[in-house]
Amino acid sequence: MGGKATLENGQTLCSKHNFLKKNLKQTETGKKMFLRMLETAKNANEKELIDFLEDVLEVYEKHNINGHIVWKK
């Protein structure tokens, strides 16, 4: 997305997530990742992690970041 081609600006990603990153803004990729993590945490009944992820997602909602990606509470 126009960043510098430096080691500090790089990310190590698997091929699936590298493809997603090319087609989505980082905030979109991040929000989707947090939603998937929340689903996994709920399935594992990880209360502390669930609370953390819901706090993070609340920040997305509060600032209307990527509102087109719906968080079903």
34 and 66 in contact (C-beta within 8 Å)?
no
pLDDT digits (tens, 9 = 90+) for 32-44: 889 999 999 999 9
The amino acid occupying position 12 is T
pLDDT score at 67: 82
pLDDT digits (tens, 9 = 90+) for 37-73: 999 999 999 999 999 999 999 998 999 888 888 888 8
- The residue that leads in pLDDT, 33 or 8, is 33
pLDDT score at 40: 95
Q: Please name the residues in contact with 17: beta carbons below 8 A apart, sequence gap of 6 or more.
A: 29
